[in-house]
């Protein structure tokens, strides 16, 4: 699993046993990143604060940030932290990983330990859970002295066994408890967990009296003093109400109606609040403050802030006299002025006191609301406990503080406030606050929960005060640490009680202690945060393995079914995930209980009959499940954790129905529950990890658990009874069910039935259930023996879907039936065969696989063997080909009805879509729906290949054979197996492709390989030859028989400029695009022969000394660009450099289509000459000067160009050696946008004519001339110069001389120094960016020369010798700051007045600079120049030293990381032609462009 490192914090769950890899996200690539984790090193214990650095792995053997990773082998479950730092910042981000053990086989039953009796009796009482797996106890530590207040979660002495568990005359210790737990494990195969309580202790704990600092008392928490005063006043109000002293005011002891509630409010407002004057704790004693102020003024000292009294005494607040003296300044020191000033202060303090009074009155109003709300619940509400009259046992409201003294008057009690030895024993009780932030401690200063009476209080607990660490309360931390160690020593797991209000740092510390004792401790918790995000904080920080969830939270059967789907498993028919996949955020693992001990009894809220079906729904969940003791016995009330004093019944298999002290199989739903628990564990053990929930009708839920390897299913149909059938009329017509496949057996059918054994009567000694109901159950019976099913008919939905129709007769409310279902025998066999053939690609498919008895011939060989016969041109057909390419062959890309057309007809078209569907198991996607509905897409994939010849047809036949098996399995499984077949085929094809490429690709990173696929994407052979024929004497030229003419013809690979716009017909091949892309996509990838063929094919079209831009198969070529010839020459040079014996290309014969400028196209082979002669002709013609008018000039070849634009000129400037040409009406370089808008009057006007000497052409020509000089010196090129006519004379121009002239002229002409006195600067007034290189020299519009564009970087790469390193670095720095975008380079300086970064070719308005996309090269960010910019940076950085080079490498990696991200996410798996400003998507751009891919690949090659 991969976790992408970005500058962000996320939370993840990882399965135990997996390898977790950390990889760099785009924002971190190119930066020095170190990953730290506290996951323990091998053999070492976990220490939360011990972090170690993970080492980076480099799969390609190179320091490539796109591929490198560091990893962890996750062998220990728990929560671990990681963080990462960049550069000098130690922590830039981080998060938690929770290593999740496999938990969905767990079944649990929870018990109140006080109801188990003496330890000797426990086995007989726990035996009820023997069939249910795991057992949980509430705390077993010593509870309160009085059984009356013994409640779940309350501990008096955490370090001793509860004396209630010890028979008289016996002496039991923790060793005895541990022995019992171990006995249960060994003999019953049952583990035990227990509650741990860190947030509070029992109010009568002896140790809390001895160490009151461990709680929140009035000494260490004086902010609670006002709340304590209110609490005591409310207690005295209770005594007076109980005595009838408020009856005259309408408030009797027995509160029964709204008028009594209003009377409570009146008494509080008129009597209680005025008596205790709480506001005085927050006010200033005005006269004392004024007197102090007067004395200071009289003494002449200078300086109003109110300071809250930290001890919260009445009128204890003080005034900050410095602020008072600054605020109230007397006119003079005269007594009358001082008195006047004191009067101002007196008034201000009175106002502030009134403000405090108002605030306290608001608190009191809220307190009154909470008090009344509490009274309503406890005494009036139907769902409340109906406590009856107010008395001392059942006070008006629960007390918030302990009061360990004899009764006294309120006045006497208030005097204790100032006696610390007494007030330290007034300890705050614990509880919970509705809707509160669980990460906030409501007892700390700043909280008014106790004052506002917002706490739902547990009156027999004391909230514990830990502080920030052990140093704040040493005794408490030591005591609880010992308690934790005892628990972890004797139990297999713990439930964190009240987890959401336990301070996180306390729980972290204690769980670390526990795990040190028991490393595999199972930690569960119930959280009431109300927020999944907050849940995740607790889960990750504490390493909680399971969060308790409850079916009782569902209001109807639909919601109950949704919870099953929510809490575990993947959908039926889910996709097989790749072994290496991104780690996705997840929800915490659930422990799904039908009911917990905290909540109301389901029988009270629903009906007794619902217990069984709801239990079945829970048991079908793919997670840990469980119940609470009493649920299965149909106890019709909540077993109160506070007040229950009775014991659980013991186990006796023969227990009579009416027995209260014993239970057996026929008690309640026990027999059904045991069968369900066995089924739950079987499903988990056998890998039934897929879940489907079907809401059949309002009351019936059908849940399917499916095994993805054997395709066995279990379908449980549960008819819930949320309403009592005795009072609610259920529909007698139960809809039939259609179950796909063959029903092997009825695993169980069970109904809750009335057995007429009397009615429920609550027993005094035992927690007894309802005797009137039992379960009628049959297990493992044939379908025909079922009493629930009326009939079952087999129907067929096509050849692959066999369905059994089930009609029910006794699926009454409270019934459950579970079927074991397999595929029909033929489908089962064929899916096994399919898995057999898929197992050659992954061992995941071995389980459930079956060998084929009569395998088709095509399947007898491994697919890799078939793929090994494919050429890269074949792989272009297999993997790619966009719609227009396919249409040439009479086909097209597949259209998904109601959705969209796939980007490619080849596998990549589907793989791009499936890559988005697969991780999320988006089985509702239109592609999945299409696959389930019919075979159209399936047949399309194989048939388009079968219809071709040779190895491609064999691959098509292989796919067809696999699909033939697949078509016979149920349609719901088609998407996952279709994906499995395609993934296998695709990955095998990629392996085959890389084996045909260079070692640079084979040994390269994933990024390199992704880019190299662009070579296959762009290079293909269409139905019609795109290239003119080569000489028949050239070896290794591919041939085929033309399907139309039947004639043998060459079928050389051609290179598309971009998809989808430049992919087919005459618009596929462009000279400039081809030769900018050829080095990256063909030479670096090892496609040398195909690159040679393209070079020679274009050489054959040379005319006027130029290579065509639009090739048009040579016959429709346009010779309207000045740069294509020089890109072609650069590629010949690159070929000679990269290819072994590459210089031999110079001797290859070129068949000339146009041996003279004006001839008609010649037949192949008619005129042939070696390539070096063609090169010589091109150089000679430029030195001579080229000038001609395009053939067929006019609208026929260009409907927008003006007449002057059809005149083409190019020549070598004798003064500088620069190639110069063009005019202001044409555009002969790559920036070739011609105006098209009549409305804006830009039609026929080039946006960027770049006439004169374009900087990149000067660089390319320098590179070419330098190269031929070197070739001649080696005897590889026969010419050292050429004769030309100049000024009426024939002169010889030496290439060496031309080379020197270019070297000497370049910087003088192109460098923009910004110095107004620079003698080389002809137009200093036009300079608006200094320290750059001009874009051109000698343009007809002089200002154009000075525009900042990215073209000079091209010259830097091909002819770096022209540049001085320091100047080059300055210019590159300006380009980086001004032109570099997220993916591309701005084509114009954003400071330029005509800059516009958004390209809209459809816009036609009156804006000259924008209409009809006129700004194509005036700002939009093109990708291919980025490659040259980065290569130039790398080259010159190396010249400037190792430090600069290291920084540049980091920059390059960081920039390219964005390209890698785009490449991975693009459905085209390519890089676009351009983006709008700041990397925004441009819909008019080609989605994938050859030169974009090529130039980025060249950067990686340079790295």
* pTM (2 d.p.): 0.88
Tell me how far apart the alpha carbons of residues 862 and 836 are, in angstroms, rounded to a whole number: 12
pLDDT-derived band at 96 (thresholds 50, 70, 90) equals: confident
At residue 436, the pLDDT reads: 83
Whether residue 147 is predicted with pLDDT greater than 50 in this model: the reply is no
Q: Which of 242-251, 275-284, 1038-1047, 1471-1480 shows the lowest per-residue confidence on average (mean pLDDT)? A: 1038-1047
Per-residue pLDDT tens digits for 1113-1124: 888 899 999 999
At residue 797, the pLDDT reads: 62
292: exposed, middle or buried (Cβ count in 10 Å: 0-12, 13-18, 19+): middle
At residue 1042, the pLDDT reads: 82
Mean pLDDT, residues 969-989: 96
Question: In this structure, are residues 303 and 321 in contact, taking their beta carbons and an 8 Å threshold?
Answer: yes
Q: Which residue has the higher pLDDT, 329 or 517?
A: 517
Tokens of 1128: 């072609």
At residue 1351, the pLDDT reads: 98
Whether residue 740 is predicted with pLDDT greater than 70 in this model: the reply is yes
822: exposed, middle or buried (Cβ count in 10 Å: 0-12, 13-18, 19+): middle
At residue 298, the pLDDT reads: 65
1360 by DSSP, 3-state: which?
helix
Question: In this structure, are residues 1399 and 1469 in contact, taking their beta carbons and an 8 Å threshold?
Answer: no
Q: Which residue has the higher pLDDT, 532 or 1156?
A: 1156
549 by DSSP, 3-state: which?
strand
Mean pLDDT, residues 313-340: 78
Residues 6 or more apart in contact with residue 647 via CB below 8 angstroms: 115, 116, 117, 121, 125, 765, 766, 767
pLDDT-derived band at 584 (thresholds 50, 70, 90) equals: confident
| Highest mean pLDDT out of 191-195, 525-529, 1365-1369 | 1365-1369
At residue 7, the pLDDT reads: 41
Mean pLDDT, residues 962-987: 96
CA torsion sign for 129, 133, 139, 140 is positive
Question: In this structure, are residues 1244 and 1227 in contact, taking their beta carbons and an 8 Å threshold?
Answer: no
Omega before residue 1060 within 30° of 0, cis: yes
Question: In this structure, are residues 1093 and 1052 in contact, taking their beta carbons and an 8 Å threshold?
Answer: yes
Q: What is the average pLDDT value for the chain, to the nearest integer?
A: 91
Tell me how far apart the alpha carbons of residues 1102 and 1277 are, in angstroms, rounded to a whole number: 19
790 by DSSP, 3-state: which?
strand
At residue 513, the pLDDT reads: 94
Which residues, listed in sequence order, are joined to residue 431 by a DSSP beta bridge?
A: 457
Mean pLDDT, residues 4-11: 47
Residues 6 or more apart in contact with residue 1281 via CB below 8 angstroms: 1292, 1293, 1294, 1295, 1296, 1297, 1298
* Neighbouring C-beta atoms of residue 1340, cutoff 10 Å: 13
Residue ranges of the alpha helices (H) in 36-166? 122-126
Active site amino acids: 497, 500, 598
Question: In this structure, are residues 458 and 200 in contact, taking their beta carbons and an 8 Å threshold?
Answer: yes
pLDDT-derived band at 302 (thresholds 50, 70, 90) equals: very low
Per-residue pLDDT tens digits for 190-215: 888 999 999 999 888 899 999 999 99
Whether residue 154 is predicted with pLDDT greater than 60 in this model: the reply is no
One-character DSSP codes across 1468-1501: T-S--SEE-GGG---TTS-SEEHHHHHHHHHHHH
Mean pLDDT, residues 35-61: 91
At residue 76, the pLDDT reads: 87
Question: In this structure, are residues 815 and 750 in contact, taking their beta carbons and an 8 Å threshold?
Answer: yes
Crossing angle of helices 926-933/974-995, nearest 10°? 110
pLDDT-derived band at 141 (thresholds 50, 70, 90) equals: low
Tell me how far apart the terminal alpha carbons of the chain are, to the nearest angstrom: 28
Tell me how far apart the alpha carbons of residues 484 and 508 are, in angstroms, rounded to a whole number: 12
Q: How does 617-656 read in b/e, with b if 16+ C-beta sit within 10 Å? A: bbbbbbbbbbbbbbbbbbbbebbebeebebbbbbbbeebe
Mean pLDDT, residues 841-852: 92
Q: How does 1443-1459 read in b/e, with b if 16+ C-beta sit within 10 Å? A: eebeebbbbbbbbbbbb
Length of the chain, in residues:
1503
- Residues of the chain with pLDDT > 70, as a percent, come to 96
At residue 344, the pLDDT reads: 82
Tokens of 296: 């200071």
**DSSP strand E in 1032-1140: where?**
1039-1041, 1048-1050, 1054-1055, 1058-1059
At residue 152, the pLDDT reads: 33
Which residues, listed in sequence order, are joined to residue 94 by a DSSP beta bridge?
A: 83
Mean pLDDT, residues 1078-1093: 98
- Residue 675: which of 783, 597, 775, 743 has the closest Cα? 775
pLDDT-derived band at 706 (thresholds 50, 70, 90) equals: very high
- Residue 827: which of 725, 988, 970, 943 has the closest Cα? 970
Q: Which residue has the higher pLDDT, 194 or 27?
A: 194
- SS in 3 state form for 1205-1228? HHEEEEEECCCCCCEEECCCCCCC
- Residue 1202: which of 1235, 1228, 1225, 1232 has the closest Cα? 1225
Whether residue 798 is predicted with pLDDT greater than 90 in this model: the reply is no
Whether residue 144 is predicted with pLDDT greater than 50 in this model: the reply is no
Mean pLDDT, residues 107-131: 89
Mean pLDDT, residues 46-72: 90
At residue 1481, the pLDDT reads: 97
Whether residue 916 is predicted with pLDDT greater than 60 in this model: the reply is yes
Tell me how far apart the alpha carbons of residues 1019 and 877 are, in angstroms, rounded to a whole number: 10
Tell me how far apart the alpha carbons of residues 1326 and 1346 are, in angstroms, rounded to a whole number: 7
Pairing of strands 815-822, 742-754: antiparallel
Mean pLDDT, residues 754-779: 92
At residue 93, the pLDDT reads: 87
Tell me how far apart the alpha carbons of residues 834 and 1341 are, in angstroms, rounded to a whole number: 70
Tell me how far apart the alpha carbons of residues 97 and 99 are, in angstroms, rounded to a whole number: 6
């Amino acid at each position: 699993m991969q976790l992408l490192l970005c500058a962000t914090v996320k939370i993840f769950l990882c399965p135990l046993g997996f390898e977790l890899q950390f990889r760099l996200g785009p924002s971190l690539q190119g930066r020095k990143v170190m990953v730290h984790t506290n996951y323990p090193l091998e053999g070492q214990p976990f220490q939360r604060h011990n972090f170690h650095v993970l080492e980076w792995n480099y799969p390609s053997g190179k320091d490539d940030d796109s591929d490198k990773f560091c990893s962890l082998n996750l062998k220990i479950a728990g929560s671990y932290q990681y963080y990462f730092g960049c550069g000098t910042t130690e922590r830039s981000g981080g998060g938690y990983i929770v290593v999740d053990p496999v938990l969905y086989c767990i079944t649990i039953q929870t018990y109140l330990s006080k109801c188990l009796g003496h330890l000797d009796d426990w086995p007989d009482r726990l035996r009820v859970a023997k069939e249910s797996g795991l057992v949980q106890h509430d705390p077993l530590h010593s509870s309160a002295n009085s059984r009356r207040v013994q409640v779940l979660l309350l501990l008096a002495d955490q370090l001793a066994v509860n004396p209630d568990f010890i028979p008289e005359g016996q002496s039991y210790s923790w060793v005895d408890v541990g022995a019992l737990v171990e006995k249960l494990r060994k003999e019953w195969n049952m583990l035990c967990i227990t509650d741990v309580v860190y947030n509070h202790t029992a109010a009568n704990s002896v140790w809390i009296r001895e160490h009151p600092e461990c709680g929140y008392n009035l000494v260490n928490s004086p902010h609670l003093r006002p709340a304590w005063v209110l609490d005591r006043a409310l207690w005295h109000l209770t005594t007076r109400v109980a005595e009838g002293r408020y009856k005259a005011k309408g408030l009797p002891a027995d509160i029964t109606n709204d008028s009594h509630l209003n009377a409570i409010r009146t008494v509080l407002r008129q009597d209680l609040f005025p008596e205790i004057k709480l506001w005085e704790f927050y006010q200033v004693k005005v006269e004392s403050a004024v007197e102090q102020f007067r004395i200071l003024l009289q003494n002449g000292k200078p300086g109003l802030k109110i300071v809250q009294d930290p001890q919260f005494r009445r009128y204890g607040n003080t005034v900050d006299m410095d602020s008072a003296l600054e605020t109230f300044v007397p006119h003079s020191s005269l007594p009358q002025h001082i008195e006047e000033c004191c009067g101002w202060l007196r008034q201000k303090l009175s106002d502030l006191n009134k403000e405090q009074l108002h605030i306290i009155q608001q608190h009191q109003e809220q307190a009154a609301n909470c008090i009344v709300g509490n009274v309503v619940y406890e005494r009036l509400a139907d769902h409340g406990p109906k406590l009856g009259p107010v008395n001392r046992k059942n006070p008006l409201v629960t007390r918030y503080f302990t009061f360990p003294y004899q009764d006294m008057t309120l006045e006497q009690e208030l005097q204790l406030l100032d006696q610390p030895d007494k007030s330290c024993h007034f300890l705050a009780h614990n509880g919970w606050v509705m809707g509160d932030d669980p990460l906030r401690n409501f007892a700390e200063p700043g909280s008014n929960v106790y004052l506002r009476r917002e706490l739902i209080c547990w009156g027999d607990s004391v909230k514990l005060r830990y502080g920030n660490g052990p140093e704040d309360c040493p005794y408490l931390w030591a005591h609880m640490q010992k308690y934790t160690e005892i628990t972890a020593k004797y139990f297999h797991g713990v439930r964190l009680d009240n987890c959401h209000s336990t301070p996180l740092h306390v729980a972290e510390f204690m769980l670390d202690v526990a795990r040190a004792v028991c490393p595999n401790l199972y930690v569960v918790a119930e959280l009431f945060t109300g927020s999944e995000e907050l849940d995740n904080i607790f889960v990750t920080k504490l390493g909680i393995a399971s969060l308790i969830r409850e079916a009782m939270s569902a209001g109807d059967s639909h919601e109950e079914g949704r919870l099953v789907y929510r809490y575990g498993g993947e959908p039926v028919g889910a996709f097989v995930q790749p072994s290496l996949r991104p780690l996705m955020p997840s929800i915490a693992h659930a422990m799904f209980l039908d009911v917990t001990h905290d909540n109301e009894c389901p029988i009270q809220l629903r009906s007794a009959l619902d217990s069984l079906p709801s239990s079945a729904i829970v048991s079908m969940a793919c997670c840990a499940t469980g119940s609470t003791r009493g649920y299965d016995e149909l106890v019709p009330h909540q077993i109160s954790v506070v007040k229950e004093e009775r014991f659980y019944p013991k186990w006796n298999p023969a227990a009579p129905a009416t027995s209260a002290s014993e239970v057996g199989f026929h008690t309640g739903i026990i027999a059904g529950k045991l069968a369900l628990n066995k089924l739950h564990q079987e499903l988990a053990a056998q890998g039934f990890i897929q879940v489907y929930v079907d809401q059949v009708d309002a009351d019936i839920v059908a849940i399917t658990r499916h095994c993805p390897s054997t395709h066995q299913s279990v379908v449980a149909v549960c008819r819930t009874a949320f309403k009592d059938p005795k009072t609610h009329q259920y529909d007698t017509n139960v809809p039939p069910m259609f179950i796909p496949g063959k029903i092997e057996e009825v695993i169980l059918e069970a109904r809750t039935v009335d057995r007429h054994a009397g009615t429920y009567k609550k027993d005094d000694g035992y927690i007894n259930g309802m005797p009137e109901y039992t379960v009628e159950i049959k297990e493992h019976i044939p379908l025909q023996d079922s009493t629930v099913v009326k009939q079952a008919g087999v129907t067929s939905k096509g050849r692959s879907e066999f369905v059994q129709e089930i009609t029910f007769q006794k699926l009454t409310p409270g019934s459950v039936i579970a079927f074991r279902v397999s595929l029909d025998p033929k489908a089962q066999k064929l899916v096994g065969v399919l898995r057999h053939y898929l197992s050659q690609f992954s061992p995941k498919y071995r389980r459930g696989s079956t060998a084929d008895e009569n395998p088709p011939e095509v399947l007898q060989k491994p697919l890799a063997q078939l793929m090994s016969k494919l050429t890269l041109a074949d792989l272009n057909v297999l993997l790619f080909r966009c719609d227009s390419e396919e249409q040439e062959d009479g086909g097209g890309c597949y259209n998904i009805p109601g959705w969209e057309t796939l980007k490619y007809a080849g596998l990549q078209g589907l793989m791009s879509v499936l890559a988005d569907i697969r991780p999320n198991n988006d089985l509702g996607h239109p592609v999945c729906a299409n696959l389930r509905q019919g075979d159209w897409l399936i047949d399309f994939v194989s048939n388009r290949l079968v219809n071709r010849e040779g190895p491609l047809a064999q691959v098509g036949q292989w796919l067809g054979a696999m699909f033939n098996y697949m078509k016979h399995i149920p349609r719901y499984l088609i998407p996952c197996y279709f994906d499995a077949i395609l993934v296998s085929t695709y990955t095998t094809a990629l392996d085959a492709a890389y084996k045909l490429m260079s070692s640079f690709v084979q040994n390269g990173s994933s990024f390199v390989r992704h880019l190299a696929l662009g070579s296959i994407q762009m290079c293909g052979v269409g139905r019609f030859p795109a290239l003119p024929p080569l000489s028949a004497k050239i070896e290794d030229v591919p041939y085929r028989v033309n399907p139309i003419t039947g004639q043998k013809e060459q079928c050389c690979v051609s290179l598309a400029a971009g998809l989808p716009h430049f992919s087919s017909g005459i618009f596929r091949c462009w000279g400039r695009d081809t030769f900018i892309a050829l080095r990256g996509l063909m030479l670096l990838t090892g496609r040398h022969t195909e690159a040679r063929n393209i070079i020679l094919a274009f050489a054959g079209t040379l005319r006027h000394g130029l290579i065509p831009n639009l090739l048009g198969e040579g016959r429709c070529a346009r010779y309207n660009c000045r740069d294509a010839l020089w890109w072609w020459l650069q590629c010949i040079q690159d070929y000679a450099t990269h290819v072994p014996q590459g210089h031999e290309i110079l001797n290859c014969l070129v068949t000339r289509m146009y041996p003279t400028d004006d001839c008609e196209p010649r037949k192949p082979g008619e005129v042939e000459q070696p390539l070096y002669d063609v090169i010589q002709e091109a150089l000679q013609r430029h030195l001579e000067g080229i000038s001609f008018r395009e053939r067929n000039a006019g609208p026929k070849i260009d409907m927008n160009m003006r007449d002057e634009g059809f005149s083409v000129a190019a020549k070598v400037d004798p003064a500088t050696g620069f190639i110069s040409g063009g005019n202001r009406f044409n555009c002969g370089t790559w920036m070739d946008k011609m105006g098209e808008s009549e409305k804006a009057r830009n039609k026929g006007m080039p946006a960027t004519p770049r006439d004169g000497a374009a900087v990149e052409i000067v660089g390319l020509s320098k590179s070419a001339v330098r190269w031929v000089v070197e070739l001649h010196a080696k005897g590889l090129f026969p010419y050292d110069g050429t004769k030309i006519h100049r000024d009426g004379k024939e002169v010889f121009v030496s290439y060496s001389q031309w080379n020197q002239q270019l070297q000497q002229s370049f910087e003088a002409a192109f460098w923009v120094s910004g110095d107004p006195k620079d003698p080389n600067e002809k137009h200093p007034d036009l300079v608006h960016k200094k320290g750059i290189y001009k874009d051109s020299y000698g343009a007809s519009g002089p200002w154009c020369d000075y525009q900042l564009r990215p073209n000079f970087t091209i010259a830097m790469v091909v002819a770096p010798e022209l540049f001085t390193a320091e100047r080059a670095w300055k210019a590159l720095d300006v380009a980086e700051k001004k032109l570099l975008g997220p993916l591309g380079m701005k084509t114009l300086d954003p400071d330029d007045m005509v800059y516009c970064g958004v390209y809209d070719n459809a816009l036609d308005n009156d804006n000259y600079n924008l209409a009809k996309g006129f700004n194509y090269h005036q700002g939009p960010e093109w990708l291919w120049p980025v490659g040259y910019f980065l290569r130039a940076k790398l080259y010159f950085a190396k010249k400037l030293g190792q430090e600069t080079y290291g920084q540049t490498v980091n920059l390059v990696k960081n920039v390219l990381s964005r390209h890698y991200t785009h490449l991975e996410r693009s459905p085209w798996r390519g890089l676009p032609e351009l983006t709008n400003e700041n990397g925004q998507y441009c819909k008019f751009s080609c989605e994938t462009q050859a030169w974009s891919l090529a130039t980025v690949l060249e950067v990686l090659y340079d790295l």
